[in-house]
Structure 1
């Protein structure tokens, strides 16, 4: 398994079109991407706020951002990044 980026979670603002299945399929074609999960968080008059989770081997952040912008969407924040040989899930501590 790769030692590069293996999961990226993004908060993305996109126009209503393309539809979420089309957008997910588009992102799944980026080199290194093995899976895409999109959750609709909010719908406004002209836009949708979505949470995009991308998982794969040695993900190329620049190629992912380019694919997102090709469809008129923009990244609002990077909410999680996992790198290395395996996924380490976030641990809840008493301070959380």
Structure 2
């Protein structure tokens, strides 16, 4: 049975000039996520550390990491990852 990634939690360093809403919207649109949430956990002069949770039915981790890099972010770590087995659906039985 195929397996897909459904949830990824990242520790991301982003430039302060990149707004949090801009970041989560771009990730959601570009990587096909169903939901993206982000919390700022630390603020420095030029950067902010963000805990980002990305959820969806079939996430492409490489595409996610590539998009974050394009936005000027650095992924410090992947803190959690969830994979889900995709079961084959049976057609509805007829009466």
TM-score by length of 2: 0.84
Question: Any runs of at least 4 consecutive aligned residues in structure 1 with deviations exceeding 6 A, and if so which?
Answer: none
Q: Structure 2 unaligned runs (5+)?
A: 87-95
- Residues 35-90 of structure 1 deviation map (CA, whole Å, 9 limit, x = unaligned): 0000000000100000000000110001100110111101000000000149xxxx
Q: CA RMSD in A?
A: 1.5
Task: Find the counterpart in structure 1 of residue 45 from structure 2.
Answer: 45
Task: Find the counterpart in structure 1 of residue 59 from structure 2.
Answer: 59
Task: Find the counterpart in structure 1 of residue 12 from structure 2.
Answer: 12
Task: Find the counterpart in structure 2 of residue 33 from structure 1.
Answer: 33
Q: Structure 1 unaligned runs (5+)?
A: 87-96
Structure 1 or 2, whichever has the larger Rg, is: 2
- Residues 17-40 of structure 1 deviation map (CA, whole Å, 9 limit, x = unaligned): 210000010000124310000000
